[in-house]
Amino acid sequence: MMTADTLHLTMATLEPFGSLELGHFILTSAALFAIGIVGFLTRRNMIVMFLCTELMFQAAAIAMIAFGRFHMDLSGQVFVIFILTVAAAESALALALVVLLFRRKETLNAEAWTELRE
Amino acid sequence: MNFCTVSVAGFLTAVYLAPLHATRTDRGGLPSEPGRVRVGGVRPVGHEWMAPSLLYTISILGAIALYMLLRPRNVSWKIIGGLLGFAAFGWFLAEMPAVLAPDDAGRPGFFYLVFSLISIGCAVRMITHSKPVYSALYFVLIVLSSAAMFLLLAAEFMAFALVIIYAGAILITYMFVLMLAQQSPDADDPTGQPEYDRRAREPAAAAIVGFILLAMLGNMATDGIGSVGEPRVTADRAALEAVQDLNLMPLDLEEIVAERNPGATIDWDDNREAVVIVDDRPMVRLIPEGEASPELFELSLDDAPGNVQRVGLALVAVFPVSLELAGIILLLAMFGAVVLARRQIELGEDELRELAGLRKVSDYDDAEEVTGGGGGDRT
User: pLDDT for B2-44, tens place per residue?
Assistant: 545 555 555 555 555 444 433 333 333 333 333 334 343 333 3
Rounded Cα distance, B231 and B137, in Å: 37
The CA distance from A13 to B152, in Å, is 10
| Interface test with chain B among A15, A49, A72, by most B beta carbons within 10 Å | A72
User: CB of B305 within 8 A of CB of B249?
Assistant: yes
> Quick one: which H or E segment has residue B281?
strand B281-287
Rounded mean pLDDT of B100-110?
61
Between β-strands B295-298 and B281-287, what pairing exists: parallel, antiparallel or unpaired?
antiparallel
b (16+ CB within 10 A) / e for A77-102:
bbbbbbbbbebbbbbbbbbbbbbebb
**Higher pLDDT among residues B290 and A94, named by residue:** A94
Quote the CA–CA distance of B379 and B331 in Å, as a whole number: 14
Does residue A3 sit within a domain?
no
Which of A5, A15, A24 is best to mutate for the B interface (most B CBs within 10 A)?
Answer: A24
Kindly state the helix (H) or strand (E) to which residue B365 belongs, with its residue range. helix B361-368
Residue A11 lies in a domain: no
| pLDDT per residue as tens digits for the range B293-313 | 888 888 888 888 888 888 888
Contact call for A41 and B206, based on CB within 8 A: yes
The alpha carbon of residue A56 is apart from the nearest alpha carbon of chain B, in Å, by 10
Task: Count A/B contacts: CB-CB distance under 8 Å.
Answer: 325
Per the prediction, chain B carries an average pLDDT of 75
Which of B354 and B210 is assigned the larger pLDDT?
B210
Residue A105 sits at the chain B interface (C-beta within 8 Å): no
Is there a domain that residue A90 lies in? yes
Type of residue found at B74 = N
Specify the number of domains making up chain A: 1
CA–CA min distance A115, chain B (Å): 17
Q: Is A96–B70 a contact, with Cβ atoms under 8 angstroms apart?
A: no
Q: Stretch B210-230: mean pLDDT, rounded?
A: 71
Cβ distance A103 to B344 less than 8 Å, yes or no, reads yes
pLDDT tens digit string along A34-61? 999 999 999 888 899 999 999 999 999 9
pLDDT over 60 at A22, yes or no: yes
Question: In which band, very low, low, confident or very high, does the pLDDT at A11 lie, cut at 50, 70 and 90?
Answer: very low
Residue A97 lies in a domain: yes
- The answer to the question of residue A82 being in a domain is yes
Contact map slice: B 84-113 vs A, CB within 8 A: 96-109, 112
Mean pLDDT confidence for B355-375: 56
Q: What is the CATH number of the domain that holds A62?
A: 1.10.287.3510
- Single out the residue of B144, B135, B134 nearest to residue B168, CA to CA: B144
Asked if B203 has any chain A CB less than 8 Å from its own CB, the reply is: yes
Tell which residue, B330, B322, B168, B166, has the closest CA to residue A54: B166
ipTM comes to 0.86
Residues B246, B256 contacting (CB under 8 angstroms): yes
Q: How many angstroms separate the CA atoms of B129 and B124, rounded?
A: 9
Which of B146, B151, B323, B334 to substitute to test the interface with A, most A CBs within 10 Å? Answer: B146
Q: What is the pLDDT of residue B305?
A: 85
Query: Closest Cα of chain A to B285: distance in Å?
Result: 24
Q: What is the pLDDT of residue B227?
A: 54
CB atoms within 10 A of CB B120: 22
Average pLDDT of every residue of chain A: 81
> Does residue A104 belong to any structural domain of this protein?
yes
Residue B46 pLDDT = 32
Q: Identity (one letter) of the amino acid at B215?
A: A
For residue B135, what are the contacts with CB-CB under 8 A and spacing of at least 6?
Answer: A48, A51, B126, B127, B129
**Residue B31 to residue B42: CA distance in whole angstroms:** 10
Query: How far from B345 is each of B199, B348, B362, CA to CA, in Å?
Result: 32, 9, 10
Contacts of A47 in chain B (CB under 8 A): 132, 136, 174, 177-178, 181
Cβ distance of A69 and B181 shorter than 8 Å: no
**pLDDT above 90 coverage of chain B, percent:** 14
Query: What pLDDT was estimated at residue A18?
Result: 63
Q: Identify whether A87 is part of a domain.
A: yes
Among chain B residues, CA nearest to A12: B105
At residue B111, the pLDDT reads 82
Which residue is closest to A72 within chain B, CA to CA? Answer: B238
CA distance to partner chain B, nearest, from residue A52 (Å): 8
Q: Which tens digit of pLDDT belongs to each residue from B152-173?
A: 888 889 999 999 999 888 999 8
Indicate whether A1 belongs to any domain.
no
Q: In the predicted model, what is the mean pLDDT of residues B208-223? A: 79
**What are the structural domains, with CATH classification, of chain B?**
2-22+46-228 (1.20.120.1200), 238-304 (no CATH), 309-378 (no CATH)
Q: Do B194 and A17 touch (CB under 8 A)?
A: no
CA distance B291 to chain A (A): 35
- Residue span of the structural domain in which A71 resides: 21-111
- What's the angle, vertex CA A24, arms to CA A82 and CA B20, rounded to 5? 125
> Looking at the complex, does the CB of residue A2 fall below 8 Å from at least one CB of chain B?
yes
Alpha-carbon distance of B93 to B81, in angstroms, equals 18
Average of per-residue pLDDT across A17-21: 68
Phi-psi region of B35 (alpha: psi -120 to 50; beta: other; left: phi over 0): left
For residue A52, give Cα distances in angstroms to A35, B71, B125: 8, 18, 12
> Rounded CA gap, B319 and B69, in Å?
43
In this complex, do B120 and A32 lie within 8 Å of one another by their Cβ atoms? yes
Residue B322 CA to residue B162 CA, distance in Å, equals 19
CB of A24 within 8 A of CB of B96? yes
Residue A105, min C-alpha distance to chain B (Å): 10
Residue B246 burial by Cβ neighbours in a 10 Å radius (0-12, 13-18, 19+): buried
